[in-house]
Amino acid sequence: MNIKLKIWRQKNAESKGAFVKYDFDGVSPEMSFLEMLDALNKKLIEEGDEPVAFDHDCREGICGTCGMYINGRPHGSVQGITTCHLSMRKFKNRATIYVEPWRAKPFPVIKDLIVDRSAFDKIMTAGGFISTNVGSAPDAHAIPVVKEKADIAFDSTICIGCGACVAACKNASAMLFLSAKVSQYALLPQGRVEAKERVQAMVLKMDELGFGNCTNTGACEAECPKNISLSNIARMNREFYKAKIT
């Protein structure tokens, strides 16, 4: 395959960035998108150029670090997968591919395709935990949990915090991420003890960090690589208003 890449290059957070064009021949359809970027960087280094900086870690679709816009969509055009699982066979020969970092004020660009997503860590620090006695593991079934709620809680825990929901939202809202994290605790008895304090603290931190409001367009759910449900946002809103009233 022969492809044309237009990649956002930005030296650092203070510099102005711009798209740089690369003509790249000999791309195998069997490559993943990140393997293609690896091959491009090898070529750039051999030619004495600066390689493209991008985030990656597990390359198994579970760490959430590989997020980037590909042709204007978070993680690319294939639903339910992360960038590292995107195959080059999804692109046509001689295609032009635009690659750029997340565009959100709370996710400032560090370099090229790398953004600072520590805002998510700050939200989790504000309330994404439970207080419990430490020591040996408790006996199985010591705390009864309704299976239906356990299943929904599990569906929420699979959020990997990649930031695609923020990138997809016209308001740069973090509500899908936050609601998934609130739900995974709110649905289980272990998380109910601090439920009121948790949801208020996490929402306050989200607002403080500059994330926008949710206007229910559903773009976050559509672009989420883990298919996190929009219903989590409704649950989080109920938790928040109950905490405010009581």
Which residues lie closer than 8 Å to 49 by C-beta, 6 or more apart? none
Answer yes or no: pTM beyond 0.85: yes
Q: What is the pLDDT of residues 18-33, one digit of tens each?
A: 999 999 999 999 999 9
User: With DSSP H G I counted as helix, E B as strand and the rest as coil, what are the percentages for the chain, rounded to 5?
Assistant: 40, 15, 50
**Which pLDDT band holds residue 141 (cuts at 50, 70, 90)?**
confident
Q: What is the pLDDT of residues 74-84, one digit of tens each?
A: 999 999 999 99
pLDDT at position 236 is 96
* Residue 131 pLDDT > 90: no
Q: What is the pLDDT of residues 101-114, one digit of tens each?
A: 999 999 999 999 99
Residues 29, 95 contacting (CB under 8 angstroms)? no
Can you tell me the mean pLDDT for 200-229? 96
Q: Which helix (H) or strand (E) holds 22?
A: strand 18-24
DSSP string, 44-107: HHHTTPPPPP---S-SSSSS-TT--EETTEET-SSTT--GGG-BGGGS-TT-EEEEE----TTS
Domains recognised in the chain with CATH numbers:
3-111 (3.10.20.30), 117-245 (1.10.1060.10)
**Which pLDDT band holds residue 137 (cuts at 50, 70, 90)?**
confident
* Residue 142 pLDDT > 90: no
Longest dimension (CA), the chain: 65
